[in-house]
Structure 1
Amino acid sequence: MLNKISYKKNNLKKKVEYYKIKNDGYANSIFINHYGNVQNQGMLNKALCHIMRDCNDMILYNAKANEEPVLLPRFSYHSLSHTFTTHLCESGINIKAIQDVSGHADTTTTMNIYTDATKELKNI
């Protein structure tokens, strides 16, 4: 029994190391597929659609007859990413850190996209 546990533990360590290499440095990615690769945007959107559908179905099922249910609006991975990055800008996070997190090639791209959020910060 001990050999079986030891084998599984070593096998798991090998898989973790394999996925770290395969992800090209993205070892701490939140969304990976069953092959260990970083998940693509299309699959994330598909998963979000299923989550929204299931959540809205549950809300409708549990809704009381005399009240209007509040359903989740449709949204995409891109809108979540954009919202997250906008909040980082509004919170005063260093633009270089935001550029790194958002995966932009340089800070100019980040500044051009999120210029409205940074303008609001200057007005405060």
Structure 2
Amino acid sequence: MPTTVAAVAPILMLIASNVFMTFAWYGQLKVEHRPLWLIVLISWGIAFFEYCLAVPANRIGRHAYDPASLKALQEVITLAVFAVFSVTWLGERFTLNHAVGFILIAAGAAVVFKGPF
């Protein structure tokens, strides 16, 4: 039986790591006045912190989840973080087609968690 820490810590760490990675990948879309080489270097610096959280999250999470479940969890978290980010930081609209698409992906993740048929 996995411990609570092994089950919950990876989720919290993956949420935090996704915030960093989303800023590394998409935060620069509001900073068009800087040269691309500088944006790439800054993004690498931000991504370093993402790795500092994601790698241990997967190591700890391995005690509670199988690798496929960790990956499915990661994808659902990525979409949730991106949805909030795109609305709050980028000012994008979150439309019904986004919601339906993300729900379908989450349903796929639920199938992975369900286990073998």
Tell me which protein shows more helix as a share of its residues. Answer: 2
Work out which of the two has the higher radius of gyration on C-alpha atoms and give 1 or 2.
Answer: 1
Larger RCO, structures 1/2 (Cα 8 Å, 6+ apart): 2
TM-score by length of structure 2 reads: 0.29
